[in-house]
Structure formats: structure tokens, C-alpha cells
Structure 1
Amino acid sequence: MGPARGSRPGLTAAGAGLAGDRVVAVGSAARVLVAAIARALRDADCADLGHVGPTSRFAGTPDPIRRAAAARTAGRVALTAGQAAEVDAGRVARWFVDQYPHGRYPGVLLGSPHGGAAHLAMALGMPWLPAGFEMTAHWPRGAVDSPRAALDHGAALAGRLLAGNPDLHVRQVHCPASRGSLAGVTVALTARWRTLPVAYRRFLAGRLAPGAPVLVLCDARTWPVHDAADGHSFQVGCPGSGLEPVDFHPDSHALRQVLRLAGGDGAHWEPPEISAPPAAAEHGVEPGLDRAVREWTARAGHPVHRLLFPGPEVLSAAVADLYRRWLRAAGKTGDRLVVECGRLLDPWQVVRAGMVPYWCENATRRNVEQVEWWLAGSEPFVSVDVLPEPPGVRSPALAGLPQWLAVAGFGRRRRALDRATARGYPVTSVPTRRATEVLRAQPYDLPTPPPLAVPDALATLRASGTPHGLLIC
């Protein structure tokens, strides 16, 4: 199979195992963020990131046909059981670092995926390295309403992965609310490093300026977990679904809605028992990796700062406030806002246009409510552009278009909801490059501000985020 659309030629590292662009799930957070930040550090936008989800062409078709089309598309890119055994996490780490331009950097961001990390990286002139990566694997004869069967199938795959990658922890997520019918044809696995990969160590040692800081971003959300085996854990649902853990209980009305929309039956739902107290959700940072970073920085003479956020909206708001102050210090207005969502972001075009970015993790009501609250408490913006990413599934937790329109309504003069993303919402998918197309139409606001100094950035983030739970230590 050739490189995924949107990948850059020549980035596949030499060595055994599958290439990184074959292993890391297409459209996953880590993959999109590294690609976007690497382009921004080259003074390039994301116009070539053209991934489209599996339901993009089936908005008007009946749900069974749309689900079948999505399953076929997902099957073409999912890993087989044999390929799971060929995954080399070290090669994946090399694939990530090899995407960044050569040269020395004033620091590095590392940790949980978050769109705000892309904008923070752009403002600081730094790369970002993910603490893990997502994969999807085939689940023959799977069923969206059978979490126990998903666990059994995932355990075999995790065993193959861990046999060749003992430095990983594999978190399996079975979430029909966020994945829809795809949760019944593929299993979702998030591999998290339990120590610093060799490629990361080399990158830090060879590409950081003397005394450059390392900033570790930690998503502190928790979720009930079933410890399936050493190195493999399982969770039903996820924070990004917009639902609570109790909503995945067999008696939940919300669960019955979710399963019906995904083509399942709530009568068959029997999740495995929770065998451990709530633990870091799938995008958390493994304690071993956090410890390894602190040990490496202590030996190498680099300061380290940890940024822990209790929810994605906390970091999103703090980064937006940071951008407004940064832009105004450079003589710009800081009065034009773009609300991004999911994969729809472009950090280079945001800075080129002199805009303030606020990133929503996805299109759930909870995330949209949070941006509304932040806007209500912020100094008004002259213009507000909104890019709601259609999730490609139906769920009772999703925001409707009227709620997104209410966000745009905070603009005093310009109130824009992108029509291309709204068309067919929520069951269509739009390419990542759609954000670039929208932002390219914004007027230029050059020159771009000089990069932020880390102490100034941390001070602003602390002042803005600490009252809302952002912890910087």
C-alpha cells in the first residue's frame, strides 16, 4: 500500500516493521497535529492534508447504506492481525520526528494531543511530539453492541503488539458514541509510550538549543478502566464522546439511542466489569514517560514544565487568551476569532491572518457550550469564524447547527459559519484542508509577530488558565 494521502514523501524511516504512515490511524489526532505543526514550522499551510472521512459522499443515503460504505472504507486502512505483529513503535517515533525541519529549536512540546498544542507550538517556534499514537485494526464478525467480544478480540491484538513493543501500554477504546458503526467493524487501540523512545531521545539531544525547555502537556481526564492484562487496558466510552461513564450502563437511555443510531441493539450490551479505579483516559500521559522526561532533562540540563489540564476547553481558552495578548503586543488588533474543531485547523494560516484561535476537541454540545461560556466572559470580538467538523456519526451528545450559529453570533460585525462544513452535518466528513481554504480567504495581517519567549508564555497561560484548573508546574 502506498503512502497515505497528505503524507510527505521520504518520511518513512529505514528499518523493520510497518512504515509509520501505515500504522498511525488516518485522521487521528497525533497524526494530524504533527503534520500541521511540521508544515507551520516550514512556513507552509495544510492545503495538502486532504483526508476525508468514510461518510463524506453518503450524506443523503439511508443509514444502513452509509454504515456499510463506512465499514468498507475503514477496512481498507485498518491493520490486520498479522500487521499488528509487525508494528514497530520505535519506527513510528522516528516517523514523527523525521517530519520536522532540520535545525535547532528553542524548546519542545511533548505529550497529549490537543489543537491548542499546535497553536502554542507555532507561537513558540517549537515542535510537538505525541505521547502515543492511535491505530485501528480489523474486527471480523464484530458487533457494535458487544463490548466483551471487542475486548476478547483486542486482547489478542494487544498481545501481538506488546510482544514486539514492551515499552508500550495499549489502551483499547470501545465507543459507539464517538465512532458509530465503525466500533463494530474495527477496534481502536491507543498505544502510549511508557518511556522515552530512542528517536525522541536523539531528537532532544541533537535538536534542542542549550538550556531549551521541555513542556509536557498532560490531559488529566479520567475514565473507568478494565485492566485486561499487563500492558493492555480497556475502556467503554471515552471523554470525547460528550457522555458520562454512567451513560454506557446497560440501563442508560442515552446508550440505547447511541446503539440504535449505530445499528446495534441495547439488549445485547454487556460491558466487562471495571477492575480498577478511574485512570487516565486514552489521551493521558503514561507515568513512565513523564518520569523518563524528567530524568532526561535533569541529566541534560534542560528545564521541564508540566501543563496539566482537566478538560480540553481549559487549554483552548488559555491559548486563545495567549494569542490575543501576543498579537496585541505586536501591534495587531487581536479582535478576530476563528473557532476550529477536530482536524479542522491550520496554525500557520491563523498566524498569517493575525487571528485568535480557539480549538474544540469535537462537535459535542459540551465542547460548544464551553466556547460559548468563554466568549461570554471575554472582551468581544469584531469577527467570529466557526469551522464545525462534522463527526460523520449521529449521537445524542452532538451540538446542532443552531448551537454553532450561536457561537458565530458573538461576532460584533462578522458572524460566519462555514457552509461547506455545515452542509450535510453531522453525518458527512470534510477534508482537513477545508480549514486552510477558509483561512486563506481571510485578509493578510503581516508581518507575523516574533516568537514568544517561554517564560512570557507560561506566565500568560498561568494567569488565564489557573482559575479554570490549568496546573503549570
Structure 2
Amino acid sequence: MTVKPADAIAAFDSASAMLEATARGITGRPFDRVGRGRLFAATLRTANLLPRSVRQSLYAFAGGAEGVRPDELGSVDLEAVAQWATEHYPERRYPAVLLGSSNGAAVHLATALGIPWLPQTMLIPVRWKGNSPDRPDRALEFGASVAPELLRNNPDIALHHMHDANQDRLMIGQMAYFRFKRRRLGAAYERFLQDRLEPGAPVIVLADESTWPVTTVADRHVFQVGAQGGIGPEDYDRHGIVPDTSAPEAEWGFDPALLEDVNRFSGSQPVHVIRYPNTHALSGPVADLYRNWLNSDRLLVESFLLIDPIRTIEARLVPLWTIFPVSSAVRTAVDYLRSSEEFRSVHIGLFPHGVESEGIAMPSRWRETISEAKFMGVDTHRYPADFAALVRHGAALRKMPRRPLPEKLDLDVALQSLGLLT
């Protein structure tokens, strides 16, 4: 029996959450509580009162419960997953579509323009309670043994098995991270481009050029030790695993094979490519677009899944998205503030991944660096195991004065303003 798409794809991941956030954003709905219900919020607030070790265990258990069993991988139909992704959007015609890399700034761009985003990369969490964060060699062997049927039944994808013992330490003890990248559009995405775009509407490809050293496991299958975040590839203990090539970074990087297929399918339809050298590079240009569009001087520094495009627009905040609360996020925020006209206020959200990983930027680091900033729903004493921040962030946004939604941002203005366009 085929695994249902919603059961095969991790709900806690960047791509699936940003897909939902975009779908809500372009239809004027908030992405509150990272897309979850009130029961989720109540559970988190209660659990946050428990000792740290218990909170961490519950967080890992909740993530592990989403996983696909290894013997089910051959029944995962990634064409059905693509169809499921397109069904997030209302059946109407759109003036353009974003397609490609996951990126929180792109969620805001899509919302401002009123256009959908279709992800290239998504995460299949594979249940494996024997996964040791500190033994990537065993993880590679596990992946090599269970992935062949998934790859055989889904010829249009490449598999990036990611093992990050630093930031994903809690989750990784429960599962293996199988990220797949579409290398061809496939039938579902082709139907969307053909049936749901206005005549002459452009396809805008998001191409994050982030790469990472990997080890080839098989055809269309690589193994990545570590991930973009607090430390670099050279800082991980590979336990004897030797990289033999470089590949698009598992979570954020763009596989250019998809662009070739987009060009093949589109024919005379316009195709624009937004290339950016690293995942944070899109954040400043989108923030500038918002500052001019909203005529605002109030900045919101976002973190991973702590995004809510509609509430952000209603509060007239300028969103500067960052991947995680790590050193590079602090640098991104500081560099943006230095290069911009002065902001009247700065608010900061910090995503809680549960452990004091290497390279993490704790609340004290943010306070020292951006002294005028105010935290959005962060309990600085419980951070980084402050899991209720996932719901407090939205609550803080809801308390801010709201204004009516403005007219959508003009597509031509946006494309001309993005200096990363090719």
C-alpha cells in the first residue's frame, strides 16, 4: 500500500512548513503556531514547565513519531507527494510561480506577490531508533541498505541522506534524514505550470548555490555529514568517512538539473532565475523590498520556522529571515542593520532546537550585539530548550497593532529590484 504523502513528509521540516506558510500567506491566512492547532500550543506550554531533560526527550519523541518505517520506503510515491504539494494552493490562475530552493525570505516574497512556491527539496524522516548521532559511518551503512527501493521507484529524484550531529542531535537519535531533490518537474508540477498560470506568466526559479562535501553511496544517492548552520563541514567528526565530491547542500541547495527540465518544458514561457550564493543572501534584498512596499522602519529578525507572513505584513514589520539562531544569523542581522537606514525598532525570534550546539547564538550573544533589540516570545532562561517559543512567537505578533493588508507588490517592480536575478 502506498504511503500517504502527508505521512511520508516531515511536518517539522523547512520545506513542508514553508509550503504551508506560503499557501496561507497568499490566501490571507496567518501561519500561527508553526501551522499547528490550539491543542499543540496548549501541550507545548504545559510541557515547557517540565525539567529540561524531559522537554528534550519529548521533543525528540514527537519528531520521531513522524517517521516512515524502512520497509515502507518502496511504497513512497514522490509523484504523489508533488501532487499533494500543488493541492495546497487554491485552483485559480496565478501571475507567476516560484519553484526551487526552500527559503524563509522566499515565503515573504511569494506572499507579497500573491504567487505559489513549489519546493524542489523535501524531507522523508525514516524511523531508526538505533541511529547514533556520533556514528555517521553506521548511518551511511543504514541508508545504503534501505534506500534502493525508494530510488528505484522514484527515478526523477536524487537522495541526500543528511546526518547532522550538531543541530539535529535530539531528532537524529530517532530517525535518518532522507532529503530528496526533484531533478525533473514530473507530471504534477507540469500540470500546475500548464493549467494554473496566466498566459505568459513567468516561472521564477530559486537557485541557492550552497554546496557541501558528500560521499557517493550509489547513483543519485549521496551522504552528507553535517549541515549548514553553526559550524562548517571541516568541524564535524566524520568517523572515517571521506567525501569524494561536492553537491548541493541537502536542505537548502539547488540541484541545477531541475532548471534544465524547467527550460525544456517552458518553451517560450518566461523563466527567471534568482541565484544567490548562500541561504542568507536572499534575506536582505527581500527585506529591502518589504521596507519600501510597507514604508516601514520596524525590523523583525526571524529564525527558521518562526515565520508568519500575514501577521508580519499586518504589523508593518520588515522581515529579515535567518536559517537558525547561529553566528551567521547574527552577522546577517548586523550587516543588514549597518547597511540600512536606521530602524525605529528591532524584534528577534529564536527558533528552539533544544541543545546548546556548536556555533549557536544564545540570547546573551544577540543582546550584546544588537542591544536595542527585543525578543519575540523567547524565555531566555529556558532557551534553547524553550519549545513553547514555537507558539509564543505568534502570540507576540498577534498582540501588535494591525493594519489592513496592502495591495500586492507589483511583480515587475520586485523582479527589477532583486539584483540577484539572471
Residue of structure 2 equivalent to 1:436 = 394
Paired AA for residue 245 in structure 1: P
Q: How far 1:44 sits from its partner (Å)?
A: 0.9
Cα distance in structure 2, aligned partners of 1:431 and 1:163: 41
For 2:192 and 2:337, the matched residues in 1 are separated by 39
**Which of the numbers 340, 343, 349 marks the counterpart of 1:381?**
343
Q: Is the 8 A contact 2:302 2:321 kept in 1?
A: yes
Structure 1 counterpart of 2:232:
244
Partner residue, 1:274: 243
Which of residues 299, 310, 315 in structure 2 aligns to 1:353? 315
The one-letter code matched in structure 1 to 2:315 is: A
Partner of 2:294: 327
Contact 1:34 1:129 in 2 (8 A): yes
Using structure 2 for the length normalisation, give the TM-score.
0.92
Aligned residue number for residue 163 of structure 1: 152
Partner of 2:358: 396
Matched, 1:146 2:135: yes
Letter of the 1:46 partner, please give it. Answer: F
Q: In 2, are the aligned partners of 1:46 and 1:433 still within 8 Å (CA)?
A: no
For 2:259, give the aligned amino acid: D
Counterpart of 2:282, as a letter, is: L
Distance (whole Å) between structure 2 residues aligned to residue 428 and residue 156 of structure 1: 36
Query: Which range is displaced more, 181-190 or 114-123?
Result: 181-190
Q: Secondary structure at the match of 1:85?
A: helix
Query: What is aligned with 1:61?
Result: 51
User: 1:124 and 1:158, CA in 2 relative to 1: closer, same or farther beyond 3 A?
Assistant: same
**Is contact 1:195–1:288 with CA below 8 Å preserved after alignment?**
yes
Instruction: Report the Cα offset of residue 421 of structure 1.
Output: 5.0
1:28 pairs with 2:13:
yes
Shift of 1:73: 2.8
Closer, same or farther: CA 205–310 of 1 in aligned 2, 3 Å? same
1:77 partner amino acid: E
1:449 aligns with 2:386: no
| Residues 407-429 of structure 1: per-residue CA shift (max 9 Å, x gap) | 6634xxxx421244545111232
Unmatched segments (≥5 aa) in structure 1: 1-15, 250-268, 329-333, 463-470
TM alignment of 1:35-54, pairs within 5 A: 35-47=20-32, 49-50=35-36
CA distance 1:292–1:432, shift in 2 (3 Å): farther
Partner of 1:132: 121
Contact 1:389 1:421 survives alignment (8 Å): no
Residue type at the aligned position of 2:36: G
Distance 2:355 2:28 in 1: 34
Aligned-partner SS, 1:274: coil
For residue 348 of structure 1, give the secondary structure of its aligned residue in structure 2. helix
State the distance in 2 between where 1:431 and 1:88 align: 34
> What residue identity is the alignment partner of 2:3?
L
Quote the Cα distance in structure 1 between the aligned partners of 2:216 and 2:196. Answer: 38
Q: Is the 8 A contact 1:139 1:153 kept in 2?
A: no
2:8 matches 1:17:
no
SS at match of 2:166: helix
CA positional deviation for 1:58: 6.1
* Contact 2:348–2:376 (8 Å) recurs in 1: yes
Deviations 1:58-87 (A, max 9, x none): 676364x55544443333211111222211
Out of 423-432 and 284-293, give the one that drifted further. Answer: 423-432
In the alignment, structure 2 segments of 5+ residues that lack a partner are: none
